[in-house]
Structure 1
Amino acid sequence: MGFWNTTCNSTLEDMRIGSEEKLAGNFTFHQLALIIAGGSTIVAYIVSFYLIWQHALNYTKPREQKHIIRILFMVPIYATSAFLSLWFYWHATYYQVISEAYEAFAIASFFALMCHLVAPDLHEQKQFFRQLHPIKPWIIPVNWFAKCCGGERGCWRVPKSGLTWFNIIWIGVYQYCFIRVAMTIVAVVTQYFDRYCESSNSPVFAHVWVIVIEAIAVTIAMYCILQYYSQFRQPLAEHKLGLKVLAIKLVVFLSFWQTIAISLATSSTVHLVSPNEKLAYPDLKVGIPSLLLCIEMALFAILHLWSFPYAQYKEGSKVAFYPSPDPSSGIPPREKEHGPKKGGFAGIKALGDALNVWDIVKAFGRGIRWLFVGAKHRHEDPSYQLKADTSYPMPNNRSGKSTDHLPIASQFRRSTFGLPNAPGDPLPEESAGLIANAQPNPGSGYRGQARPYQDSASHPQAYNEIAEPGPSHHPTTYVPYDDRGDIGAAAPQYYAYDEGNAYNGQLAGGASGAGTTAPQNPRNSTQVKFGNALWGHQNQHHGSV
């Protein structure tokens, strides 16, 4: 501690404003900067709030658009923070940390938006990434690290599992939310106790440590964003992903690195730029970067009109598609459906959704939980387990509404379907019994293979709307279970379907034969009608064994 001066060496004389010479006409630099920054901030406000309002009015895809609205809010927040920092030099630190903290949420929202462009929710995103192929190598410099640190066996190797790759990107992005907010709190507290000292890069003050930690965190987050973009540049080309990445990357780069560069150049230890008769120390330290940010935010607001357009979300707009996780499978992309406008009166509900950041908090918690599961036990993590998701809508249930609130739905789903159950034991979930003794369909094209990610309309379902109770005189048909649900392993599961009965109560390939044993608990017509009412009539497609 004795080697460094523990007193912040920026004096009040260095920071005085008012005695500078005129820079243009009757205006000093500070006065002229306020005029230019104010005009730029107004332009940024008008353009940004117009685009935000249009997204709120055409709120047909809430899962995507709430993240877009959050990203668009970054421009007016940055412009406001920079203008207030320029106006109130002495309190600039407090205004700057507001925009810096919001930057982390904007980056996280941008990553969440890209995730929703490949699949509508986290459940399907995990399904998608389980089947992701091929997984592209890491971009530089991590690919260099991999070559010199063990190659395919080293710690920098490309994951074999698409879900592992997804989770690495996930935690790499969301860690920045925590670190940036934590560093914001550190900056405010240390500034209050005069231990921040923005004018010094001495390690005895908090300023240099906050800069280093934030620089590492934002570099990791932006690297993960670029890696994700590299993976999906072609599949998501219709969404102008490159332009979106450019808009986010430039905002982060200019807001952070140009401020850091000016801070280092004007610090007392480096001292590359010095105050003079026309530029006071606050003009160099705060005024120039704040003025540049206000001008840049006006330009970015205009750029966002092309990078985050609202026209594609209007009712009747061009149809978009989700990409396929494996283009070589030949499965066509799945169509995105436009829902009704859900923004509420004047888009107020849409703005409320965007301002509620609880989903980002949960996403960070999920990433931390995955990170600390441990490499040896990571396969036991629930995110790697395909689990029954009985609330997921069946193919004809296009509304996407869950039936969990209906008592008959819960009872129907938890039925044993004729499976033995010990007295007093809780009833198993439907998928638990169906998977227990399932065997591959000899006539299936996916014999022993994982069924590719596809639209559920491409294969049939189990419920027969014309089935009647009674003995069966029809051949037994094997129907693949709809593997869109998160159930068990990725391999296809099968159960026996009898054309004469709604469900014969026995598993395909069971001990008593392939669906020929009399059911212990056959479905009657009333139960079949309840199933059809809950999940819709399903198309028939039978093939005799």
Structure 2
Amino acid sequence: MDVGYLVTRKLFGHHHDKNSTDKACPTDPTNVPADQMKPVVGSFMFHDLATILAGACSLATLLIVSVAIVRHATNFTNPIQQRQVIRILLLVPWVALFSFLIVWQEDAGEYLVESLDFGCSIAISAFLLLLCDYVLSNTGGFDELFGQGASKVVREGLDSPKWLKRIWYMALQFFPVSVIVWIATAISVAVGIYCGASNRPKFAHIWLQVIKIASTTFAILACFRFYHMKKDQLAPHKVMLKFFAFKGIIGLNAIQVFVIGILVGNDTIKPTEHMTYHDVKTALPSLMLACEMPLFALVLIFAFPVGVYKAEGCSPAAGPLSAMVQAFNITDLMSCFVRGPMRLVRDQQWGMQRSQSFPLPAEGGEVMSEGGYAAQPYGYSAHPRV
């Protein structure tokens, strides 16, 4: 018999038990009554132990990342870049917090699980904009990004190159798709057609998982493609370390949820007298993710150091409160599809000029200050490269 058919049947097949039919989503397949569940350690049930462990890891993650965020906010010398850095750093406590809530609140777990991808989508969108800012920080960076001569005609409505548009929309589609998948998941769970216990095509669960995996993959590949094309300009910024530091979170989240979902749906992993169906299907991958977050928090601190934004005679362009407001204001990410690369980057350049975090290149290659006088080259030493 064809191997492909067997694999497909195994993936989308649905086990039969006394609680399931072909037309309905099976209920919790746990055969052990709730009052007969046995503790895992001492008197602690798995849910209690998992909640404590996830909560402790989430708190540790929050404390570690808070130190890094406060340091960036108090040394906010480059608002355009550092607001993206803070957004990326915020991914770790976001994932840790919602992982804890998913473990703790059993009934709300399936409604909350897609919040993880929403946080990842903001971080990956911010990362793409940060890569664009890194290229722009080099001398002639605008021409490097948009083509030779682009800096001279930027105000004449020059369009973005096709390669940049493809990368731009491939990466940024993750943001709206994550919102749609989260809403679709909540609705399908509420009306009873989600069915995380089954991978049959008639239920929404498997299709939403496939969409999520595809969207995540496209976004990651797009950022990697951008790095590959602008490797020389990005070399001083240790982009690969930054790339794997936070994209590991995205990859682990997608892989762990998908693999465990497949294994549970095919009865490879089953509930036991120690773990309920919810513990296996929803709490286990979230617990694993929560425990991994303190390690990722430490890696991100080294990947996005604040020291590079400290320079002699360079004072913060905004206070800590303003820095946090700018980081939480994601209207630039929400408007990326409407404005496109050229318009958004041009708006960011105007922001650089207003905040004095970077001087802008004049048409003749010189850098002009706000008053119109020649300044140092774009990417000058007072603002070292990241």
State the alpha-carbon separation in 2 of the partners of residues 357 and 250 from structure 1: 23
Is 1:295 equivalent to 2:308 in the alignment? no
For the 8 Å contact 1:233–1:242, the answer to whether it is kept is: no
Aligned to 2:353: 400
For the 8 Å contact 2:76–2:323, the answer to whether it is kept is: yes
- With structure 1 as the length reference, what TM-score do the two structures score? 0.57
Greater helix fraction, Structure 1 or Structure 2 = 2
One-letter amino acid of the structure 2 residue matched with residue 356 of structure 1:
N
State the alpha-carbon separation in 1 of the partners of residues 257 and 330 from structure 2: 27
> SS where residue 400 of structure 1 aligns?
helix
State the alpha-carbon separation in 1 of the partners of residues 354 and 318 from structure 2: 18
Q: Please, which of 99, 102, 109 is the counterpart of residue 126 of structure 2?
A: 109
State the alpha-carbon separation in 1 of the partners of residues 120 and 247 from structure 2: 11
Is 1:96 equivalent to 2:113 in the alignment? yes
Q: Name stretches of at least 5 consecutive residues in structure 1 with no aligned partner.
A: 133-160, 317-337, 371-381, 384-388, 394-398, 403-454, 458-480, 486-531, 539-545
Is 1:349 equivalent to 2:322 in the alignment? yes
> SS where residue 220 of structure 2 aligns?
helix
For the 8 Å contact 2:30–2:272, the answer to whether it is kept is: no
Aligned to 1:225: 223
CA distance 1:535–1:191, change in 2 (3 Å): same
Question: What is the alpha-carbon root mean square deviation over aligned residues?
Answer: 3.2
For the 8 Å contact 2:117–2:250, the answer to whether it is kept is: no
Per-residue deviation at 1:22?
Answer: 2.2
Q: Percent identity?
A: 28
The Cα offsets for residues 88-133 of structure 1, whole Å up to 9 and x where unpaired, read as: 1111022212222121111101111111011059x9646633149x
> SS where residue 173 of structure 2 aligns?
helix
Range that drifts further, 191-200 or 74-83: 191-200
Larger Rg: 1
Per-residue deviation at 1:162?
Answer: 8.7
For the 8 Å contact 1:14–1:280, the answer to whether it is kept is: no
Q: Name stretches of at least 5 consecutive residues in structure 2 with no aligned partner.
A: 1-13, 15-20, 150-158, 376-386
State the alpha-carbon separation in 1 of the partners of residues 32 and 228 from structure 2: 46
One-letter amino acid of the structure 2 residue matched with residue 51 of structure 1:
A
Per-residue deviation at 1:10?
Answer: 2.2
> SS where residue 235 of structure 1 aligns?
helix
Per-residue deviation at 1:237?
Answer: 2.7
State the alpha-carbon separation in 2 of the partners of residues 533 and 28 from structure 1: 64
CA distance 1:307–1:17, change in 2 (3 Å): farther
CA distance 1:68–1:91, change in 2 (3 Å): same
State the alpha-carbon separation in 1 of the partners of residues 80 and 35 from structure 2: 51
Aligned to 2:170: 172
The Cα offsets for residues 244-288 of structure 1, whole Å up to 9 and x where unpaired, read as: 001122100111111111011101xx2111112222211111221
State the alpha-carbon separation in 2 of the partners of residues 264 and 86 from structure 1: 19
One-letter amino acid of the structure 2 residue matched with residue 205 of structure 1:
F
Q: Please, which of 36, 41, 45 is the counterpart of residue 28 of structure 1?
A: 45
Range that drifts further, 103-112 or 33-42: 33-42
Aligned to 2:364: 482
> SS where residue 236 of structure 1 aligns?
helix
- Counting only pairs closer than 5 Å after superposition, residues 133-212 of structure 1 correspond to structure 2 as 163-212=161-210
Per-residue deviation at 1:533?
Answer: 11
Aligned to 1:340: 315
State the alpha-carbon separation in 2 of the partners of residues 225 and 48 from structure 1: 24
- Counting only pairs closer than 5 Å after superposition, residues 216-295 of structure 1 correspond to structure 2 as 216-267=214-265, 270-295=266-291
Aligned to 1:359: 332
- With structure 2 as the length reference, what TM-score do the two structures score? 0.78
Question: Which gives a bigger RCO, structure 1 or 2 (Cα 8 Å, sep 6+)?
Answer: 2
One-letter amino acid of the structure 2 residue matched with residue 400 of structure 1:
Q
